[in-house]
Amino acid sequence: MPRTKVSDLPRRAVTRSAKLAALPIGFAGRTALGLGKRIGGRSAELVAQEIQERTAEQIFKVLGELKGGAMKLGQALSIFEAALPPEIVGPYRATLTKLQDAAPPLPAKTVHKVLTEQLGDDWRDHFQSFEDLPTAAASIGQVHKAVWHDGRTVAVKIQYPGAGKALISDFNQLARLGKLFGVLLPGLDIKAVLAELRERIVEELDYLREAEAQHAFALEFKDDPDFFVPDVIAANEQVLVSEWVDGTPLSQIISNGTQDERDRAGLQFVRFLFCSPSRVGMLHADPHPGNFRITGDGRLCVLDFGAVNRLPEGYPPVFGRLTRIFNQGDMETVIEGLRDEGFIRPHIEVDPEALRAFLAPYVEPTAVEEFSFSREWLQQQAATATDLRPGNVVRQLNLPVSYVLIHRVHAAGVGVLCQLGATARFRDEVIRWVPGFADDPDDSDDLQEEPLAS
């Protein structure tokens, strides 16, 4: 398959703006068309559903064609996929995957120019050797393997030139589309979500801030029997140099690992996500398989701390409390708690049973001592929640800004666990690390955190 050329991707600001600007025009046309059909005798419900479907189709198509901020927004809104028919979200999800997996690398000449601008004309003096071909590429940067001047093998993360301007430009354009998203998701305060995502993206562009987060994780998990985080060696705003780590990518464990390997990797993965807010005061907010690997001694190595959720007080206690109450079957209290937290806005009413079906994939694994994740289980859950009635509960929910990254982590985390097909005592990790979940807080102290690595 031929490599995508840099010029093939819509990176130019003018191109992106034109694509985004076309969205409201298309929406206005569909609204007028819908009015005409209603005059012609079609029911308001059917017309509204058709407008929602067509609006969703165009939004997701444009977001999928764009890189940068638009793609980040699309990823953040993936929680709402259950509100949309599979013929819409299927191609969209495939487009995102293609963009993530096939990001075109910068040519060596451009890499050298960036390093000269960021490290000086003598940048080569920092390295004994530097590999021009990147080992990994993503939406805003790429990673090169090199040997530091003291002989250590290192990973050099370089930000694409202009990535920051492109991301901010996308978000400035997207902020104007609140009414459009309001048609698709009437319960969502899209302006607040966009503002939060924009702030987090600005942080993600600052490699010095990423270096601070990575160093904090590396210090906390230094000599940990279960986890390894490579420490930072040097950094500025657009170049980050850290320790190189060899290991088996989690994607290979997913595709070729034994059941024991997948079970242990799944438990390590969950433990890392749940224990980090308590131990570091931060949550790793980009938990896709490419950011994890298993080291030779069995530890889970964690990479890429550009996206973190700072939780100095740990997980919000209400999260654990509502999870426990959900398991006890008291949906009225759950709805009241979600409303207090801003997940259900004051003017919105939801169907308790529909809400239960939607929340099940996130809560069900905490209701039993041992749980088995699988793709089939996730597909069944998605089928239960997918119902494009105008009153669909997914479309009625809001995403409070303080939970944007937490929910992104949980949604992505469930997906990774289902890819692994892992079976383990995940409930124990929730009891141990998530405040408010245990009926008796002392129960969490009774659990022994035994190392998973052999």
Percent of the chain with pLDDT over 70: 67
Between 30 and 216, the higher pLDDT residue: 216
Give the amino acid at 216.
A
pLDDT band at 124 (very low <50, low <70, confident <90, very high): very high
pLDDT class for 362, splitting at 50, 70, 90? confident
The four Cα atoms 87, 197, 384, 327 give a dihedral, to 10 degrees, of 170
Give the chain's largest Cα–Cα span.
Answer: 77
Of 57, 92, 62, 98, the C-alpha closest to 78 is 92
- Looking up tokens 């089928």 gives 383
CB burial class (10 A; 0-12, 13-18, 19+) of residue 228? Answer: buried
What is the reported pLDDT for 35?
39
- Which of 332, 426, 410, 414 lies closest to 371 in space, CA to CA? 426
What is the pLDDT at residue 332? 95
Q: Are 292 and 301 in contact (CB under 8 A)?
A: yes
Work out whether strand 239-243 and strand 292-294 pair parallel, antiparallel, or are unpaired.
unpaired
pLDDT of 9: 33
Tokens of 347: 């003017």
pLDDT at 198: 78
| Residues 392, 384 contacting (CB under 8 angstroms) | no
Each domain of the chain, given as residue ranges in start order, spans 6-102+163-203, 206-454
* pLDDT confidence of residue 70: 55
Q: What count of other Cβ atoms lies within 10 Å of the Cβ of residue 348?
A: 15
Distance CA(423)–CA(371), nearest Å, equals 5
> Mean per-residue pLDDT for 259-266?
97
CA distance 381 to 364: 10
Non-local CB neighbours of 171 within 8 Å, separated by 6+ positions: 69, 73, 194, 197, 198, 201
For residues 451 and 454, what is the distance between their CA atoms, to the nearest angstrom?
Answer: 8
pLDDT value of position 69? 56
pLDDT reported for residue 317 = 93
Lowest mean pLDDT among 164-168, 174-178, 388-392, 403-407: 388-392
Q: How confident is the model at residue 424 (pLDDT cuts 50, 70, 90)?
A: very high
